[in-house]
Amino acid sequence: MAERERPAAGKAQPWWRRLRPPRRLSFTREGRLIVILSIGVGFAAINTGNNLLYLLLGWLLSFIIASGILSELTLKRLVVERRPPPRVFAGEPFLMEVVIKNEKPHRASFSIEVEDLVGATPLDKRCYFLKIPAAKSQRTSYRHTFVRRGLYTLTGYRVASKFPFALFRKSRDVDAPLDVLVYPARVLVPRPAPRTEARGETTANRTGRRGEFFGLREHRSGDDRRDVHWRSSARTGRLLVREYEDEHARKVVIGVDNALPAVARDAVGDGALTPAVEAQVAAVERAISVAASLAAVYLEAGWTVELCARGCHLPAGSGRIHEARIGRALALLPYVPDSVAFAALPPRVESVLVVPRAVAAEGRPSASTVMDV
């Protein structure tokens, strides 16, 4: 699992960061040409004493100085905010929104480039802003894809400009850590079949079309319009429907085996993956993705879902909040050895155990359904 650790708050910066200049300057092709031309004209003016050459040299030097001053003014008091989407899934492109605000009250900024950083390396493409008016903000977005699940930390961002003459590219790096949680990849899984008999250990707390009033929930596709509670919907601004108790409990326990041999775990930590280790890691990752997709499908169908894994257990729950809780737990689920105990699956409840095909592990519990992926 690709996971990066966020620096602790208040930790002293390394000495090389404290010595880092506030601005970085790089030459463009036009800038190199102007500098070489200025040096040549300067030598010619000194050797010949020609006033016209001195005048041309002064014009070139003032051109360079004006470029530095104006670019410095355009980079001042710019604040950048990055807004990732609510959920990011591994292997799926997403749009990262970038909002830049010009806090200068009377001066606009021109030709601004913004890029996210991981360490000192840009993450993806640059976002370009042609003009940011005074005391205004502009927004755009760039597309990126995280290959693996996990918690990624963007350490900061870089603001750069070639304004006004494109002689130099002046930039400054800002330390602004941003955590992006990447959920497991979504895969196609079978939908739960309608149940005709109870296998649960309880006889209530399942929503049905008949029975006593159970509560309110958000509207889902396929709900009967007669169950809409219009008064509560108008008060909350969300479409809410009534739920009724039923004689059959719809509860499922999803288990996923996250065991990985010690050799494979060490190789993942070192970043030296052989084809055999890659196959084992891919099998575990697919099992985690299948478990996350199964949980989403069951919760969408109105089931109560409980999650079990080695070293991880989430109590039963339902709804979108519980779906996000399961997704976060699976996104951060670590690889563990076989010796870590697997949470027991209740024997009288519908259960699905997702097993990686390429990884042999001991101590797996029995389940109603075993998916070998």
pLDDT digits (tens, 9 = 90+) for 71-86: 999 999 999 999 999 9
Look at strands 350-355 and 369-372 and give their pairing. Answer: parallel
Q: What pLDDT is stored for residue 259 in this prediction?
A: 87
pTM: 0.75
pLDDT at residue 297 above 80?
yes
Question: Residue 108: which pLDDT band, with cuts at 50, 70 and 90?
Answer: very high
Secondary structure (3-state) at 126: coil
Torsion of CA 261, 182, 252, 279, to 10 degrees: -30
Q: What is the CA radius of gyration of the chain?
A: 30
- Which one is predicted more confidently, 362 or 248? 362
Q: What angle do CA 89, 218, 238 make, to 5 degrees?
A: 100
165-215 pLDDT tens trace = 989 999 999 999 999 999 999 999 888 765 544 444 444 444 444 555 667
- Which one is predicted more confidently, 314 or 17? 314
Question: Residue 267: which pLDDT band, with cuts at 50, 70 and 90?
Answer: confident
332-341 pLDDT tens trace = 999 998 888 8
Q: What pLDDT is stored for residue 24 in this prediction?
A: 85
Span of 65-69, 204-208, 233-237 with lowest mean pLDDT: 204-208
Query: Residue 258 burial by CB count (10 A; 0-12/13-18/19+): exposed, middle or buried?
Result: buried
Q: What angle do CA 63, 69, 74 make, to 5 degrees?
A: 120
Tokens for 356, please give them.
Answer: 């990686």
Tokens for 337, please give them.
Answer: 């050895």
Q: What pLDDT is stored for residue 219 in this prediction?
A: 79
Question: Residue 123: which pLDDT band, with cuts at 50, 70 and 90?
Answer: confident
Distances from the Cα of 302 to the Cα of 194, 223, 263, 297, 323, angstroms: 11, 11, 41, 9, 11
For range 134-156, the mean pLDDT: 94
* Phi and psi, residue 133, nearest 5°: -60, 160
CATH 2.60.40.10 domain range(s) in the chain:
15-183
Please tell me the CATH code under which domain 15-183 is placed: 2.60.40.10
